[in-house]
Structure 1
Amino acid sequence: MNPTTTTPKTLGSFVEDANKGRADYLRRVLSPLVDRFRRRQELDGRIERPADSDVTLLREIADVASTFLFEMGRDQQARALREDIDAWIDAGLDAKPAFDRSRDTFTVVPNNAEMFFLGAVYATNSEQPCGHRLDYFYAQRHEPTFVTSIAEEYPHPNNVVQEVILLAGSEGFTRGNCLVFFPENIAAAEKIKEQNYAVFFFSKFQAIHEEIGVAAAREVMTPESVILDSEGMDPYGCYEARSLWGYLHDRAHFSGKWPIGDYTLLKMNWFIGVLEEIKVDAKAILLAHSTSMPYANELLAMILVERLFRYPLEKEAESNFDAATGVFLYSWFHAAGALQVSDGRLAIDREAVLALLPRLVSEIEAVENSADTPDEYKAAAKAFVYEYLAPGGDGRRYRFLPYQDILRSRSSHLAEQAPLDFSNPVL
C-alpha cells in the first residue's frame, strides 16, 4: 500500500505552467552563460589569469540572474547577488569567490513556490571533478501531501527540508548525481552558524537510482537476494518514497547527544559525518518499519542500494564522504554476518539487516556518548570508523580492502558512463 492513487501521477502535473515557461527561458539564456563561465574556473572557484571577457561574461550573468530574481519578487536576494559579484570583480577573479550575502538571503519557500539560486557552489557528486564553481538552479518546491502528514505525526524540531522538482540549472546541478544544496556547500568567507535550509532535487532521484544503483546491485548481488522493492516504481511514487526518506533522515539528525542543530560545524567533521549519515538512515528505516509507514520496504531497499552499490562507484571514492558510508555499512554488516560473499557475488539477508539496525544505532550512539568534548568526539569517531575502513595514503581517507572491492569491481563500468543529463527535464 502507498499514498498514490491508482492512476500514477507525473511530476510535471504539479509544476505551474508559468514556472515551466520561466525554466525554458533560463535554459535558453542563462545556462549557456553560466556553463561557459564555470569551465574557466579552477576547483576553488578562481580563474587563473582572468581576461576582460571573463568580467564581461560574469556581469552579463549577474544582469540576467538579478533581473530574474527581481521579477520573482526576491529583491533582497537579487541585491545580495549583485553585491557578491561586484565584490568578486573588485577583488579580481583570480581571488576565491565569496557568496556570503547570497547564501544568507536564500530562504525556505512555501510548498509549491519557486526558488532560484546562483553562486559558487560545491555541487556534491556532480560531474567530476567537483569544485566551488559558479552554478545556478531554478526549481519548484513540492512536498507530497502524505509527507506533510508524517511531519505532523512525527514533528521535526527544525524542519528546513525542501523537496524540489528541478526545472533548470547549470552543469553542476544538471549533469551527474548531485541531489542536495546546503548552505555549507556555498563558497563564502564566513562559515555558517546553522543550517537554515536543505534543498533536495528528488525529481532526479529515480533515474540515478535505477540507472546506476539498481543496475550495480543486480550485477553484484546473488539473483535470489537482489533487493527489488525500489525498482520500477511509478515516477511520482518514487518521488514520494524518496521524500519520506529525506524527511525522516533529516529529522534524525536532531537526535542524540550532539544534535546537528547545536553542533552544525562539528557534524561536518569527516569521520563524525560518516557515522552520522549511517545512524540517521538506520533510524529512518526503523521508524518507518516500526510504525508501518507507507513505502517502508521501498525505503529500506533505496537506502541499501544507494549506500552499498551506488556511492562506492563515485570517482575518487577513497576520499568521497558518501562512498565511505557505503563501505563502512557493508563492512559492519559483513562482520555481523548479514552479508555473505560467494563466487564473487554478494548475498544480503534482509531480515538480518533489519534485526541488526538497532545494534548499529546503539554502537554509533555509544561513540557519541563516550565523548564530553568535541575533540574527544572526533577522536572516538575516527577510531570507530577505522575499525571497519583501512586508513588510506596519498591524501585518501581510506582504501578498499580486497573483500570490500566487490562493491565496485563487478560494476566499475557504470562509473565510467557519461554523467546523467538533467538539463532539459521532461515535465
Structure 2
Amino acid sequence: MISNMDTIISITGQIRDNLKSNVKPKEDDVFNLISEIKQLEGIVSKDLIRAFTEETISFLIEGNEPDYSKTREYINTVDTEISFIAGMFNSPYNPLFGFECILYKKHEVNSSITSHYPSSVVLPVTVLGCTDGFKETMNVSLFPEFFVASAPIKNEHKVFYFTNRFEKRNHLITKPILNQLTTASTFKVLKSASDEEIQEACIAWVYLHEYHHRTGVLPIPEYLNIKGSRAAASLEELRVDLHSIIACIDLYINKKLEKGLLFAELIFAERLLRYPIQIDPHINFDSRASQFFYSFLNDVGTKVFDGTEIHIDVIELREELEKIVNYIDMFERQISRLETAEAKKQIDNLSKSLGGFSVETNKYERLPLYQTMINICENTSIETLISH
C-alpha cells in the first residue's frame, strides 16, 4: 500500500530515539526522512509534505523550537484515503510521545449515522504503521492539542481515532469475556458478528463518541477547564457513550439503521465490561467510567450480574439508559452554575460515590463484578490483557 512505509517509520524512530536521549539527530537521517516522505507525492497531499519538510528542517537542521502548526493545519485538510501524521507530540496521557510518525487509512462512517449526527471533526482510521510513541498501551486517538504547535487550536481541527486498536481489544479481551460470562441471549448479535461487522461497529462507536463530546451543557473542548480531571473525564466518557448507545437503539427501532442493534451492543459491552479488566480504575478514567456505569445500573434497579453470569438485553434497557444519562445531564446543568473549583469538587464527590473509591486504601478499587470476572477468566492473565 505504501512501499516505503517501513523505511519512513524506521528513520523517524531513529530520530525520535536520538531526541529522547538528548542527542542531536544526524542530518543525513533528517534529509533521508524528508526524501522518503516526498516519495508519497501522488498518494498524500503535496501541501502536507511541504509543510512537514519546512517545519522539520526548521527544528532539526536550523535548531529552532519545534512548531508543527502548518503540518497540523494541512493534516486537517487532507481528504486522501491514505496519509500520514508526523511531527513533535506531547500529552500528559502519553509519556512516550516525542518525534513521531503514523501512516493511516481513513474509513467512511455509516451514512445513516452521519445524516442524523453530522460532524466534520471525527476521522476514524486504521493505523498502517507508526513509531513507538503511538504504540503506547492506551493510545487510541490523536487530538489537535497533542501537536507541539504555536498556533491556536481551531474548532474544525480533526480528532483521529485508531479503530483497529478497538477491533483488536474486542477480539482479544471483550469477546472471550462475553463467551465465558454471558447468557446465550446476551449480546447475541455482537457475539455472532464478523470481523468486518466489528470494524464497522467500532467506526460508528468512535464517531458517535466524539460527536457527543461536543454536545450537551458542558461540551468539550470548550469546558476542559472543568472536565480535565480524571474524575470528570470518567463521567464524560460514560455520558457520551450512553448517548451513543441510545442513538443506535433509536435508529434501529425506527428502521433507520439496520445494524443499529449491533452497534449499540458493541458500545454497551465495551463501555461496561472491558476497561476494568484491562487496566486499574484508580489510574484510568475509562476504567472508572465503566464502574460508574455498573453502579448507575444498580441504582436504577438493573442487576446485570447474578454472581455467575451476565444478562443484558440492550433494547429492554433503553428506558434505564435514558434515566442514567438524564441524571448526568441534570448534574451537569447544576454544576454549570457553580464556580469552577466547586464544580470540580462536586464531580469528585460523585466519582467517589460511584467509582469504587475505598476510604481504607484511599484509592479506586475494582468493583466486585470486575474482580469476579478476572477470577473467572483466570486463563487469560491481566498482564496479557493490559499489553493490548
TM above 0.5, one fold?
Answer: yes
What is the aligned partner in structure 2 of residue 170 from structure 1? 131
Q: Please state how far the C-alpha of 1:108 moved relative to its aligned partner.
A: 4.1
User: What is the correspondence of 1:222-233 to structure 2 with a 5 Å cutoff?
Assistant: 222-224=182-184, 226-233=186-193
Task: Give the paired residue count.
Answer: 379
Partner Cα separation in structure 2 for residue 390 and residue 232 of structure 1: 32
Aligned partner of 1:236 among 191, 196, 211: 196
Show structure 1 runs of 5+ residues with no match.
1-19, 422-427
Aligned partner of 1:209 among 160, 170, 180: 170
Aligned partner of 1:83 among 55, 76, 80: 55
What is the aligned partner in structure 2 of residue 107 from structure 1? 76
Partner Cα separation in structure 2 for residue 61 and residue 384 of structure 1: 53
Q: Please state how far the C-alpha of 1:350 moved relative to its aligned partner.
A: 4.0
**Cα distance 1:142–1:241, how it changes in 2: closer, same or farther (>3 A)?**
same
Q: Is the 1:124–1:180 Cα contact (8 Å) retained in structure 2?
A: no
What is the aligned partner in structure 1 of residue 274 from structure 2? 310
Q: Please state how far the C-alpha of 1:272 moved relative to its aligned partner.
A: 2.6
Q: Please state how far the C-alpha of 1:278 moved relative to its aligned partner.
A: 1.2
Q: Please state how far the C-alpha of 1:149 moved relative to its aligned partner.
A: 4.1
Return the letter of the residue paired with 2:173: I
Return the letter of the residue paired with 1:385: S
SS of the residue aligned with 2:189?
A: coil
What is the aligned partner in structure 2 of residue 9 from structure 1? none
Deviations 1:205-227 (A, max 9, x none): 433212211113334x2444642
SS of the residue aligned with 1:119?
A: strand
What is the aligned partner in structure 2 of residue 47 from structure 1? 20
Q: Is the 2:173–2:274 Cα contact (8 Å) retained in structure 1?
A: yes
Question: Please, what TM-score do these two structures have when normalized by structure 2?
Answer: 0.80
Q: Please state how far the C-alpha of 1:392 moved relative to its aligned partner.
A: 7.0
What is the aligned partner in structure 1 of residue 348 from structure 2? 382
What is the aligned partner in structure 1 of residue 220 from structure 2? 260
SS of the residue aligned with 1:416?
A: helix
Partner Cα separation in structure 1 for residue 191 and residue 158 of structure 2: 30
Q: Please state how far the C-alpha of 1:117 moved relative to its aligned partner.
A: 0.5
Q: Is the 2:85–2:103 Cα contact (8 Å) retained in structure 1?
A: yes
Q: Is the 1:137–1:170 Cα contact (8 Å) retained in structure 2?
A: yes
Aligned partner of 1:136 among 98, 101, 107: 101
Partner Cα separation in structure 2 for residue 357 and residue 123 of structure 1: 33
Q: Is the 2:27–2:61 Cα contact (8 Å) retained in structure 1?
A: no
Return the letter of the residue paired with 2:114: A
Return the letter of the residue paired with 2:12: V
Return the letter of the residue paired with 2:47: D
Partner Cα separation in structure 1 for residue 250 and residue 231 of structure 2: 29
Aligned partner of 1:250 among 171, 195, 210: 210
Question: Please, what TM-score do these two structures have when normalized by structure 1?
Answer: 0.74
Partner Cα separation in structure 2 for residue 398 and residue 136 of structure 1: 35
Q: Please state how far the C-alpha of 1:323 moved relative to its aligned partner.
A: 1.4
Matched, 1:30 2:8: yes
Deviations 1:187-217 (A, max 9, x none): 4567746461012222444332122111133
What is the aligned partner in structure 2 of residue 370 from structure 1? 334
Q: Please state how far the C-alpha of 1:151 moved relative to its aligned partner.
A: 1.9
Which deviates more, 261-270 or 228-237? 261-270
Matched, 1:117 2:82: no
Return the letter of the residue paired with 2:81: A
Q: Is the 2:34–2:53 Cα contact (8 Å) retained in structure 1?
A: no
What is the aligned partner in structure 2 of residue 322 from structure 1? 286
Q: Please state how far the C-alpha of 1:266 moved relative to its aligned partner.
A: 4.4
Return the letter of the residue paired with 1:33: I
Show structure 2 runs of 5+ residues with no match.
none
Partner Cα separation in structure 1 for residue 377 and residue 88 of structure 2: 33
User: What is the correspondence of 1:345-364 to structure 2 with a 5 Å cutoff?
Assistant: 345-348=309-312, 350=314, 353-364=317-328
Q: Is the 1:120–1:186 Cα contact (8 Å) retained in structure 2?
A: yes
Which deviates more, 324-333 or 97-106? 97-106
**Cα distance 1:401–1:286, how it changes in 2: closer, same or farther (>3 A)?**
closer
Q: Is the 2:84–2:103 Cα contact (8 Å) retained in structure 1?
A: yes
What is the aligned partner in structure 2 of residue 160 from structure 1? 121
Matched, 1:148 2:111: yes
Matched, 1:67 2:38: yes
- The higher-RCO structure (CA 8 Å, 6+ apart) is 1
SS of the residue aligned with 1:405?
A: helix
SS of the residue aligned with 2:190?
A: coil
Aligned-residue identity in percent:
20
Return the letter of the residue paired with 2:11: L
What is the aligned partner in structure 1 of residue 384 from structure 2? 417
**Cα distance 1:404–1:57, how it changes in 2: closer, same or farther (>3 A)?**
farther
User: What is the correspondence of 1:260-339 to structure 2 with a 5 Å cutoff?
Assistant: 260=220, 262-263=222-223, 266-292=226-252, 293-339=257-303
SS of the residue aligned with 1:308?
A: helix
Q: Is the 2:88–2:98 Cα contact (8 Å) retained in structure 1?
A: yes
**Cα distance 1:190–1:243, how it changes in 2: closer, same or farther (>3 A)?**
same
Return the letter of the residue paired with 1:198: V
Partner Cα separation in structure 2 for residue 270 and residue 315 of structure 1: 14
Q: Please state how far the C-alpha of 1:104 moved relative to its aligned partner.
A: 4.0
**Cα distance 1:253–1:73, how it changes in 2: closer, same or farther (>3 A)?**
closer
Aligned partner of 2:157 among 196, 207, 216: 196
Return the letter of the residue paired with 1:243: I
